[in-house]
Chain A
């Protein structure tokens, strides 16, 4: 299969190793990988802040760049949820782009969903000895309905002990611009999330959205707690090396 990567704006700028590892894993599974030019961002930052016209142009750019792709895979539940849930409303008055948006919805997946549900490869043969816990990101869980896929991937990692995260369903307080627009409320939320992460007894916090992980790790760092945060992709990538 020819898989096109959606390198989200956040991983592109801050965590290029996540995108690179995603490419490596997909290649390892025998697929051709490309990264269509021109792609930047799903537009969610502007959309969620109420700047719909600005969001629409960013979304249009993304749609254009994946027009010829067969399958699109991204390392973020939130960005894929933006496409699936809000692109139809964004282009409701533009029949041509509405059709293109629907095409993109049909062929786009979050990484764990793609590997487990589409490729049916929950076992990537990875080894990683650690105690970890998993934060189920809100948009992946509630908007995309991703429940089991990431857990299946993690359950197949040899040596990995997966510990339950108390109050896992609580948002970490990132919320995109929420974190800078309502910084005090956001801080209170991430403080509680950190409290639960520490209570889990895990050495590593895993997730499938770098936004949430950037928030939680940024807070843990500030309060000098040595819990490491990793995208599931990073853990799999490391585990597949050995």
Chain B
């Protein structure tokens, strides 16, 4: 995947130079954001809904061991095969074994961020059992060989023409780029796939602990096809994705659909209580639930970051983030992008060298925190990640020295006064028309695109002291 081979700086440059991408991202996030406002305002007491959502998520996370146990018990009682995967590699291994065991050739997938997190498609391709993505957006990026650029709208960055260009080699003839033509083409492709599928792989938006049910929220109906037609089904689930019962599910579904796409309910809310019973006319006979940890247990035990597990993956934080708005998702370099991606990726992957840039992909404006339906203090978590990176010695030496100097000067007002007066003299080589227009790094990072006011000849503290005849 090309995106992964670039440096952070190269990815940022690439994104900023791509006007199609930036226009598409701006348009799509504006639309999603405005839809969300409508759908949340119409409830009349959105803040109360957020409170309820936060309370439910906190309760589940605080009692996750209990609810996981209950879920697994319910599932196993009915003959579901439950697999606990500690690492992404474990999860991939489990899925691979199931696919091999059934000698499956046609694996179908509906949208699952966990499958992206564990890079499942790549592994199945190696085994010659490539999974076909049946979600329209995922299908597009699968053909393009790209990671998702938004957790809800994975192909947000593609224009209709780009999509038509991707489809043409498969169609074998020219395709017009109007939406009905493109969707009809995909529908025909998918219909054949659905009828051939041996194994269906799905994600899981919520698992209801006391009934052992899996809830999927989709808009295209593909999730329902993938979970009814193939004989064998595998559901991939992050271990925190639980609600205690249907009472809480009601609230969480409202929060999710309204925050994600501005719908009251998504077009399809599929609730499965597997496996197929003798009276059921369809559904998988063999059902596997793979529950992924991937350092979630560690986050759970970390008081500073536990709230990150409260996320319901609605993407609302993406749609209000001014950084995401400029860049789209690929510049982050991670499977999960946007504000929540910048929080959870360093925690899940535990690799500062690779993911240390993510906590800085934020101006800390707080729009994400304000937009989160379960009140995760996202921008505070980004600051805490910076703190942890700093405290573990992973920030540049120069930066550490700068803050040492800052601490020295900014605790000594009189010394700072002298330093500022010195600065007022030293700035002259960089001054044009009474503005600072250049200077050494890191100042030059500012002056490349902006000018800076001149350091005042006398700082306010000195002016005030002089006015009051003090030294």
Asked if B367 and A189 sit within 8 Å, CB to CB, the answer is no
What chain B residues lie within 8 Å of A171 (beta carbons)?
A: 322, 363, 365, 367
Question: Which residue of the partner chain, among A11, A48, A51, A188, contacts B16 with CB atoms under 8 Å?
Answer: A188
The reply to whether B416 and A222 contact each other, CB–CB distance below 8 Å, is: no
- A178 & B453 in contact (Cβ 8 Å cutoff): no
Say whether, besides A50-B387, A184-B16, A13 and B452 are in contact (CB < 8 Å). Answer: no
User: Across the interface, do B364 and A185 meet the contact criterion of CB distance under 8 Å?
Assistant: no
Chain B, 153-210, CB within 8 A of any chain A CB = none
Q: B383–A38 contact, CB under 8 A?
A: no
Name the one of B385, B391, B411, B449 contacting A40, with C-beta atoms under 8 angstroms.
Answer: B411
Residues of A contacting B454 in the complex (Cβ-Cβ under 8 angstroms): 14
When distances are taken between beta carbons in the complex, the residues of chain A under 8 Å from B251 are none
Expressed in whole angstroms, the minimum distance between the Cβ of B29 and any Cβ of chain A is 11
Q: How large is the interface on B (under 10, 10 to 19, 20 to 34, 35 or more residues)?
A: 35 or more
The CA of A47 and the CA of B166, in the complex, are separated in Å by 46
A71 within 8 A of B: no
Distance (Å) between the CB of A224 and the closest chain B CB? 11
Q: Kindly list chain A residues whose C-beta atoms are within 8 Å of the C-beta of B246.
A: none
With A183-B449, A190-B450, A218-B446 as contacts: A142 and B367 at CB distance below 8 Å: yes
Q: Which residue of B322, B365, B416, B453 is within 8 Å of A142 (Cβ)? A: B365
For the complex, give the distance between the alpha carbons of A191 and B390 in Å: 30
* A3 contacts B by Cβ under 8 Å: no
Minimum Cβ distance to chain B for residue A20 (Å): 7
Contact indicator per residue, chain A 169-185, by CB within 8 Å of chain B (1) or not (0): 11101111011111111
Q: Are B448 and A7 in contact (CB under 8 A)?
A: no
Complex Cα gap A141–B147 (Å): 35
Q: Which residues of B contact A181 (CB under 8 A)?
A: 360, 442, 445
Quick check: is A58 within 8 A (CB to CB) of the other chain?
Answer: yes
How far, in whole Å, are A35 and B364 apart by their CA atoms in the complex? 30
Interface flag for A226 (CB, 8 Å): no
Per-residue CB proximity of B293-335 to A under 8 Å, as 1/0? 0000000000000000000000000001011011100000000
| CB–CB A218/B390 < 8 A | no
In chain A, residues 2-53, which have Cβ atoms closer than 8 Å to a Cβ of chain B? 7, 9, 11-16, 19-20, 23, 35, 37-41, 43, 45-52
B446 touching A183, Cβ below 8 Å: yes
Q: Is B322 a contact of A48 with CB atoms below 8 Å?
A: no
A217 and B434 CA atoms in complex are apart in Å by 13
B363/A173 in contact, CB under 8 A: yes
Chain A residues whose C-beta falls within 8 Å of the C-beta of B144 in the assembled complex? none
Task: Say yes or no for B49: interface residue by CB 8 A criterion.
Answer: no
- Residues of B contacting A221 with CB < 8 Å? 435, 450-451
Q: Chain A residues near B445 (CB, 8 Å)?
A: 179-181, 183
Contacts of B463 in A (CB 8 A): 16, 20
**Can you list, as one digit per residue, whether each of A190-215 has a CB less than 8 Å from chain B (1) or not (0)?**
10100000000000000000000011
B369, B420, B452: the one within 8 Å of A218 (CB): B452
Question: Considering the chains assembled together, what is the distance between the CA atoms of A234 and B41 in angstroms?
Answer: 37
Task: Name the segment of B82-90, B116-124, B401-409 touching the other chain.
Answer: B401-409
Separation of A15 and B325 alpha carbons in the complex (Å)? 32
Tell me if A102 is interfacial: C-beta within 8 Å of chain B.
Answer: no
Query: In the bound complex, how far is the Cα of B446 from the Cα of A215, in angstroms?
Result: 9
**Contact (Cβ within 8 A) B460 A218:** no
Cα separation A192 to B324 with both chains bound (whole Å): 13
Q: Nearest chain A CB to B17's CB is how many angstroms away?
A: 10
For the complex, what is the distance from the CA of A180 to the CA of B367, rounded to whole Å? Answer: 21
Please give, as numbers and ranges, the residues of chain A lying within 8 Å of B385 by CB-CB distance: 50
Question: Which chain A positions have C-beta within 8 A of B461?
Answer: 7, 12, 35, 37, 39
Residue of B nearest to A214 (CB): B453
A180 touches B322 (CB 8 A): no
Q: Does A61 contact B (CB under 8 A)?
A: yes
What's the minimum C-beta distance from A227 to chain B, rounded to whole angstroms? 14
Q: B104 at the A/B interface (Cβ < 8 Å)?
A: no
Task: Flag whether A157 is at the interface (Cβ < 8 A).
Answer: no
Of the candidates A45, A50, A186, the one whose C-beta lies within 8 Å of that of B406 is A45
> Among A13, A50, A143, A183, which residue has its beta carbon within 8 angstroms of that of B386?
A50
Verify A215–B364 contact, CB threshold 8 A. no
B248 in the interface (beta carbon within 8 A): no
A139 part of interface (Cβ distance < 8 Å): yes
Of the candidates A13, A48, A185, A215, the one whose C-beta lies within 8 Å of that of B450 is A215
A184, B8: Cα distance in complex, Å: 12
Residues of chain A lying within 8 A (CB to CB) of residue B420: 12-13
B249 at the A interface (CB under 8 A)? no
* B16 & A186 in contact (Cβ 8 Å cutoff): no
Give the distance in Å from the alpha carbon of A218 to the alpha carbon of B447 in the complex.
8
> CA separation between A227 and B367, bound complex, in Å?
26
Question: A138 near B: Cβ within 8 Å?
Answer: yes
Chain A 50-92: CB-based contact to B (< 8 A → 1; otherwise 0) = 1110100110110000000000000000000000000000000
* In the bound complex, CA of A12 to CA of B456 (Å): 8
**Residues of A contacting B450 in the complex (Cβ-Cβ under 8 angstroms):** 187, 190, 215, 218-219, 221-222
Q: Which A residues are in CB contact (< 8 Å) with B322?
A: 170-171, 173, 189, 192
Contacts of A143 in B (CB 8 A): 366
- Interface flag for B3 (CB, 8 Å): no
A34 CB to nearest B CB, Å:
9
Smallest CB gap from A33: residue in B: B464
**CB-based contact B361/A41 at 8 Å:** no
Among candidates B323, B364, B458, B460, residue contacting A48 with C-beta atoms closer than 8 Å: B364
**What are 15 contact pairs spanning A and B, CB under 8 A?**
A12-B461, A15-B453, A16-B456, A16-B458, A16-B459, A46-B407, A50-B383, A52-B391, A61-B413, A142-B366, A143-B366, A170-B325, A171-B365, A182-B360, A218-B453
The 9 closest A-B pairs by CB, nearest first: A175-B363, A50-B386, A218-B450, A171-B365, A16-B460, A50-B390, A138-B365, A142-B366, A54-B407
Q: Besides A40-B411, A187-B448, 10 other CB < 8 A contacts?
A: A15-B453, A16-B458, A20-B460, A142-B370, A170-B322, A175-B363, A183-B446, A184-B13, A188-B326, A221-B450
